[in-house]
């Protein structure tokens, strides 16, 4: 089973748009072993909270997405494991994006995202798949 790093944008698309762009995410996720930095749950939670507060999602919809996220088998990497790589990458990326790239580089696997800008960032040494 090959690894695939997923960022919050990919996970949220999978959770919130399963019949639209989420289908493309699901195809990539398939039977991959998912990984992400340990900030992923915080990012997903914050976006769901913002959507609920803005009434883009009902309380029930946000809770269902939050609970569905909890069932996804994602190996979470602690910051300490990629700390040096994150700092190296912050010349061109936010600390958040750098954490995802650092995990993908360490695993030698692609990073799945919705962020086209991330795919063009200099210094990234992993494949970035934009869905």
Backbone angles phi, psi at 11, to 5 degrees: -65, -45
Q: Which two tokens stand for residue 42?
A: 């915080």
C-alpha distances (whole Å) from 69 to each of 36, 45, 88, 98 are 13, 9, 30, 22
What is the radius of gyration, based on Cα positions, of the chain? 14
Locus of tokens 């750098």 = 98
Annotated binding residue 75: no
Of the candidates 115, 114, 118, the residue with the CA atom closest to the CA atom of residue 131: 114
Tell me if 7 is assigned to a ligand binding site.
Answer: yes
Secondary structure (DSSP) of 6-23: E-HHHHHHHHH-TTTTHH
* Binding site residue list: 7, 97
* Binding-site residues from annotation for Mg(2+): 7, 97
């Amino acid at each position: 089973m090959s690894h695939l790093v997923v960022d919050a944008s990919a996970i949220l698309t999978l959770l919130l748009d399963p019949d639209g762009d989420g289908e493309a995410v699901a195809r990539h996720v398939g039977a991959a072993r998912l990984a992400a930095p340990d900030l992923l749950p915080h990012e997903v939670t914050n976006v769901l909270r913002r959507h609920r507060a803005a009434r883009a999602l009902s309380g029930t919809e946000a809770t269902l997405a939050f609970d569905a996220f909890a069932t996804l088998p994602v190996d979470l990497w602690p910051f300490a494991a990629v700390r040096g790589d994150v700092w190296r990458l912050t010349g061109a990326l936010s600390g958040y994006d750098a954490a995802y790239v650092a995990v993908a580089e360490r695993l030698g696997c692609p990073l799945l995202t919705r962020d086209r800008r991330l795919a063009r960032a200099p210094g990234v040494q992993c494949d970035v798949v934009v869905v």
